[in-house]
Amino acid sequence: MGARDTMAQVQLAGIKKSYGPGDVAVPVLDGVDLVVEKGEVLVILGPSGSGKTTLLNMIAGIDRPDEGQVLVGSRDLAGLEEEELSRYRRTRVGYVFQFFNLLPTLTARENVAVSLELLERPDDEEVARALHKVDLGGKGDRFPHQLSGGEQQRVAIARAIVKRPAILLADEPTGNLDEDTGLEVFKVLEEVNRDVGSTLIVATHDPKARKFSDRVVRLRAGKLEDF
């Protein structure tokens, strides 16, 4: 990778990651290079098991590479201590998961509020605004089991955006939904992200996500290629 792009939000340089010991280690990422500009909506396409989640987890500071650099702004995540990484995840990153990961004993409103409580800055108005952005303003008192799959995923999106993260990651956000609901979720992700102003990176096997993106890359055999 050449000189750093001052507009880049995320830069990956020579990322390698394998799982398993020694001679039986399985390479998942094999020299991945990627530059994502601030405010960009990037879709990473690839089948299940291609390493998409591992790639997102690198950007989230959850996994560390075996080799290479993960730069967010001017910071190399690989060089941060665990306490610094934890602070980075709490303050800078929003994460939307395939299986929603909502707390079943909390209402939609309370699930969204968790993000701000972890930052020790509870704000009922921000929570209400986040739910309104995903068209769930009238369902904040419902529990996850009282919501459809698409509604649960929208609660998860509200939880991710309520803290206005610099980077919003979505890992197979429609993988547990039917086709029509999945398209609605892609649309909501794109719209709320434009409003919040985050850099959005979506990992998915669904090529229909292209419609809502600025750019698409494919992860295949451990490497990224333009799609």
pLDDT at res. 176: 87
- Give the count of alpha carbons within 13 A of 216, CB side only: 14
Residue 99 lies in a domain: yes
Residue 100 lies in a domain: yes
Is the CB of residue 181 less than 8 Å from the CB of residue 157? no
Residue 21 lies in a domain: no
Residue 95 lies in a domain: yes
Determine the Cα–Cα distance for residues 171 and 198; give it in Å rounded to an integer: 16
Residue 211 lies in a domain: yes
* Tally of domains within the chain: 1
> How deeply is 210 buried, as exposed, middle or buried, from its count of CB atoms within 10 A (0-12, 13-18, 19+)?
middle
Residue 2 lies in a domain: no
Is the CB of residue 45 less than 8 Å from the CB of residue 65? no
Residue 72 lies in a domain: no
pLDDT at res. 6: 44
Residue 1 lies in a domain: no
> How deeply is 128 buried, as exposed, middle or buried, from its count of CB atoms within 10 A (0-12, 13-18, 19+)?
middle
Beta bridge partners of 72: 10, 75
pLDDT at res. 23: 83
Tens-digit pLDDT string for the chain (227 aa): 333 444 568 999 999 999 988 888 899 999 999 999 999 999 999 998 899 999 999 999 999 999 999 999 889 998 899 999 999 999 999 999 988 999 999 999 999 999 999 888 889 999 999 999 999 999 999 999 999 999 999 999 999 999 999 999 999 999 989 999 999 999 999 998 888 889 999 999 999 999 999 999 999 989 999 88
CATH number at residue 166: 3.40.50.300
For 179, the domain range is: 40-61+81-224
